[in-house]
């Protein structure tokens, strides 16, 4: 059973002399699948509580940012019940540092090291 | 600094778990000392309303343990159904927008949710429809479930239903790019003929209906179902699709159309979700770079969401000179709360037109300015699916005298909002505020009606034009877009739009067995009339 490692972003930022090559860069996922999705769900649940969130099958494969919001209930016409709100979504960013993929919780800055996820720098092909 | 103030005023906290301020009617209520349900519990007394805080969380069946969403113990205490009903009564008396239109009904003999159903106004709009069509409740655990923004389980199809009963009619309104339906080659206008071997149009047994519902609304991702569709050209195509968790693309088909009058920007905006911000910015950067001088915003399938996005869109249309210092929308509560939000306690501050990009990590404005076309008029394509925040966009622009020309159908009519509030494991939605524009106008509970000759405030200059499923969205020949382009040059509506009313609000029900309302975007919350049961909403009350 692999444990999720959580590191405070502030430690990363302030505690190390990082070379530019080692700085986290925006990344996208390269191995979408059930195992990867399950790990992302576990990490997100660890970060924000609640129950596992529903993720797209191709989550984080073409963007480095993940927005999580409450499931928008629909009324009998199919329109969102909460059609006028300003509830803050939870935001996560996928980063690559060296060969390590990380998921960063935007609100807290906490960094979650991913074990199952493979990723590449967003601009690299 | 201005930006911070502007945005601070619009941040709304999810109200679950927050208890609204007290201040209901007169109180001579004695809360229980033991919290038990026997004997000394609260009693209904006509015209006497205990503060809601004294009644909240006293539950007939208290939850125990830790709330996984808050990490704290549930607030529930031993109480009774009477407590729960009296809390609903006091909460409504304090915060319901039309509290003074409620009868003070003795809760004895009613179930809790049954009693909640009574705590709404029976008043009707000028059209005769019920004024309050937005009175819901939902299991709190279900309400709090979260999802990736814009992810829906299904095939990636936005359906347009025309008849739920035989002869049924169900067409594709649009397809999400990259979805199972897209990969299967389906397109807008394709019509369902068969589902898993069952005649979709005339299938008349309960088994037929079950098969159709199961095929259209698979309960999980990965289910495979067979369909026969008929294309607009009359060709029949066999398709097998596996359901998936599909990421919707809220902004689609942004393009610039060359016309004799100049360049016209077009954008299809389907959902006010955070993901849409960058896509809208990209669209407007395109319009600005291409020197578009007119704009068509296609909101026909946009049921609302984040209000700040509507405000940003308003700015990107209208620009600095039109919007500076002006109100996009102001929340108004009932007359007990003229200056403060009764739920948050915050002063009521207008939401201005937000002209900066939002940092959703911190939910504040950045210093990055949004692109803008700085127009004095905009064309909006609409149907009755154009709702809430989309209507706020229309109303906000009209409030600053930017001309909105409405092409399509009457909008849904939801100038209202609420703070969903949990009590004892059920989250209640009761209308608590309305949104008004810079002119103080917000009375459009029948929706905005397009008409060539507006006479009343909720009537908007424009044309009634049917949603044309025969052509792709964004195609200049598609009926609604073509009508907008024609109006720009002629100033008049197309001859073929001389329909008095064809509103989709007309119930598509007929005789015979009905399928579920076929829209995968709310499949997650509707399973065989589940929504009606969940939210206590009677489909007969639809306008």
The mean pLDDT value for B436-453 works out to 96
d(CA B13, CA A82): 13
- Asked if B17 is an interface residue toward chain A (Cβ–Cβ < 8 A), one would say no
Name residues whose C-beta falls within 8 Å of residue B269's C-beta, 6 or more positions apart in sequence: B250, B251, B276, B280, B297, B298, B299, B302, B313
d(CA B253, CA B283): 9
Residues paired with residue A70 on neighbouring β-strands, in sequence order: B146
Provide the 10 A C-beta neighbour count for residue B438: 22
* Dihedrals phi, psi of A60, to nearest 5 degrees: 65, 20
Residue-wise pLDDT for B5-33, tens only, equals 344 333 333 322 222 333 333 333 444 43
Query: Is A76 part of any domain?
Result: no
If one counts the domains in chain A, the total is 1
Same-domain check for residues B271 and B387: yes
Query: Is B92 part of any domain?
Result: no
Query: Which chain B residue's Cα is nearest to A48?
Result: B69
Contact status, residue A3 vs residue A104, Cβ threshold 8 Å: no
Query: Is B37 part of any domain?
Result: no
d(CA B64, CA B292): 59
pLDDT of residue B296: 98
Same-domain check for residues B302 and B184: no
Same-domain check for residues B224 and B310: no
The mean pLDDT value for B199-216 works out to 94
Print the SS3 string covering B476-492.
Answer: CCCHHHHHHHHHHHHCC
Same-domain check for residues B305 and B383: yes
Q: B230, B190, B195: which is closest to B212 by C-alpha?
A: B195
Domain limits at B278?
251-337+350-415+434-497
d(CA B72, CA A49): 11
- CATH number, domain of B369, equals 3.90.226.10
Location of structure tokens 């622009």: B397
Query: Is A82 part of any domain?
Result: no
Residue-wise pLDDT for A75-107, tens only, equals 877 788 889 998 999 999 999 999 999 999 999
Angle at B159 between CA B154 and CA B161, to 5 degrees: 135
pLDDT at B34 over 80: no
Residue-wise pLDDT for B502-537, tens only, equals 443 444 555 566 666 544 333 332 222 222 222 222
Torsion, CA B487, CA B265, CA A78, CA B308, rounded to 10 = -120
pLDDT at B412 over 70: yes
Query: Is B268 part of any domain?
Result: yes
Contact state of B145 with A90 under an 8 Å Cβ cutoff: no
Same-domain check for residues B291 and B398: yes
Query: Is A113 part of any domain?
Result: yes
Same-domain check for residues B376 and B268: yes
Same-domain check for residues B357 and B409: yes
- B249 DSSP assignment: -
Query: Is B190 part of any domain?
Result: yes
Same-domain check for residues B363 and B393: yes
If one counts the domains in chain B, the total is 2
- CATH number, domain of B167, equals 2.30.42.10
Same-domain check for residues B290 and B237: no
Residue-wise pLDDT for B37-85, tens only, equals 445 689 999 999 999 999 999 999 999 999 999 899 999 999 999 999 9
Q: B521, B392, B534: which is closest to A83 by C-alpha?
A: B392
Query: Is A111 part of any domain?
Result: yes
Same-domain check for residues B288 and B362: yes
- Give B259-284 as a DSSP string: ETTEEEEEEEE--B-TTHHHHHHHHH
Of B361, B387, B542, the CB nearest to A83: B387
Same-domain check for residues B178 and B311: no
Query: Which chain B residue's Cα is nearest to A104?
Result: B361
Q: Which of A14-23, A58-67, B180-189, B405-414 has the lowest mean pLDDT?
A: A14-23
Phi-psi region of B493 (alpha: psi -120 to 50; beta: other; left: phi over 0): beta
Query: Is A52 part of any domain?
Result: yes
Q: Which two tokens stand for residue B174?
A: 């649009």
Contact status, residue B154 vs residue B178, Cβ threshold 8 Å: no
Query: Is A80 part of any domain?
Result: no
Query: Is B518 part of any domain?
Result: yes
Question: Average per-residue pLDDT in chain B?
Answer: 86
Contact state of A71 with B525 under an 8 Å Cβ cutoff: yes
Domain limits at A44?
5-14+23-67+88-121
Query: Is B65 part of any domain?
Result: no
- Asked if B412 is an interface residue toward chain A (Cβ–Cβ < 8 A), one would say yes
Same-domain check for residues B265 and B394: yes
Q: Tell me how close the Cα of B70 comes to any Cα of chain A, in angstroms.
A: 7
pLDDT at B334 over 60: yes
């Amino acid at each position: 059973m692999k444990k999720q490692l959580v590191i405070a972003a502030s430690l990363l930022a302030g505690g190390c002399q990082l070379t530019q090559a080692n700085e986290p860069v925006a990344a996208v996922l390269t191995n979408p699948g059930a195992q990867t999705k399950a790990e992302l769900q576990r990490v997100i649940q660890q970060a924000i509580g609640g129950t596992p969130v529903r993720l797209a099958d191709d989550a984080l494969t073409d963007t480095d940012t993940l927005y999580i919001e409450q499931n928008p209930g629909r009324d009998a016409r199919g329109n969102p019940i909460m059609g006028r709100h300003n509830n803050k979504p939870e935001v996560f960013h996928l980063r690559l540092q060296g060969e390590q993929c990380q998921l960063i919780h935007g609100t807290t800055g906490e960094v979650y090291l991913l074990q199952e996820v493979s990723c590449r720098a967003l601009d690299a092909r | 600094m201005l930006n911070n103030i502007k945005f601070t005023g619009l941040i709304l906290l999810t109200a679950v778990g927050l208890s609204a301020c007290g201040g209901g009617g007169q109180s001579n209520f004695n809360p229980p000392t033991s919290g038990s349900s026997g004997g000394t519990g609260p009693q209904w007394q006509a015209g006497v309303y205990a503060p809601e805080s004294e009644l909240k969380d006293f539950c007939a069946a208290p939850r125990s343990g830790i709330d996984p969403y808050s990490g704290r113990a549930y607030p529930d205490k031993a109480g009774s159904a009477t407590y729960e009903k009296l809390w609903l009564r006091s909460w409504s008396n304090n915060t319901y927008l039309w509290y003074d239109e409620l009868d003070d009904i003795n809760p004895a003999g009613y179930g809790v949710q049954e009693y909640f159903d009574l705590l709404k106004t029976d008043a009707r709009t000028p059209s005769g429809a019920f004024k309050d069509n937005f009175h819901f409740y939902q299991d709190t655990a279900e309400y709090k479930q979260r999802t990736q923004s814009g992810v829906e389980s299904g095939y990636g199809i936005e359906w347009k239903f025309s008849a739920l009963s035989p002869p049924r009619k169900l067409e594709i309104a649009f397809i999400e790019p990259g979805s199972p339906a897209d990969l299967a080659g389906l397109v807008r206008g394709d019509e369902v003929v068969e589902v898993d071997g069952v005649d979709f149009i005339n299938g008349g047994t309960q088994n037929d209906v079950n098969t159709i519902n199961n095929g259209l609304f698979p309960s999980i991702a990965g289910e495979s179902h067979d369909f026969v569709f008929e294309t607009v050209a009359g060709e029949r195509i066999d398709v097998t699709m596996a359901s998936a968790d599909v990421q919707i693309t809220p902004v689609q088909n942004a393009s610039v159309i060359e016309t004799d009058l100049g360049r016209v920007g077009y954008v299809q905006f389907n959902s006010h979700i955070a993901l849409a911000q960058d896509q809208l910015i990209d669209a407007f950067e395109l319009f600005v770079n291409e020197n578009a001088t007119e704009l068509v915003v296609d909101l026909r399938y946009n049921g609302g969401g984040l209000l700040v996005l509507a405000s940003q869109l308003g700015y990107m249309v209208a620009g600095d000179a039109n919007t500076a210092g002006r109100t996009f929308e102001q929340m108004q509560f009932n007359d007990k709360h003229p200056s403060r939000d009764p739920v948050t306690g915050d002063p009521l501050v207008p939401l201005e037109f937000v002209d900066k990009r939002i940092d959703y990590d911190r939910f504040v404005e950045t210093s990055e300015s949004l692109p803008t076309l700085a127009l004095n008029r905009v064309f909006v394509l609409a149907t009755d699916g154009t709702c809430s925040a989309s209507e706020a966009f229309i109303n906000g622009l009209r409030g600053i005298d930017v001309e909105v020309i409405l092409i399509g159908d009457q909008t849904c009519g939801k100038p209202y909002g609420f703070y969903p509030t949990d009590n004892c494991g059920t989250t209640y939605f009761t209308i608590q505020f309305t949104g008004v524009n810079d002119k103080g106008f917000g009375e459009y509970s029948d929706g905005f009606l397009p008409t060539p000759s507006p006479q009343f405030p909720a009537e908007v200059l424009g044309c009634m034009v049917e949603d044309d499923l025969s052509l792709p969205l964004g195609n200049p020949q598609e009926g609604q877009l073509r009508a907008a382009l024609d109006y720009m040059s002629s100033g008049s509506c197309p001859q073929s739009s001389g329909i008095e009313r064809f509103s989709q609000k007309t119930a598509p029900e007929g005789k015979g067995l009905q399928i579920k309302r076929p829209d995968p975007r709310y499949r997650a919350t509707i399973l065989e009339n589940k929504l009606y049961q969940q939210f206590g909403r009677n489909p007969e009350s639809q306008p």
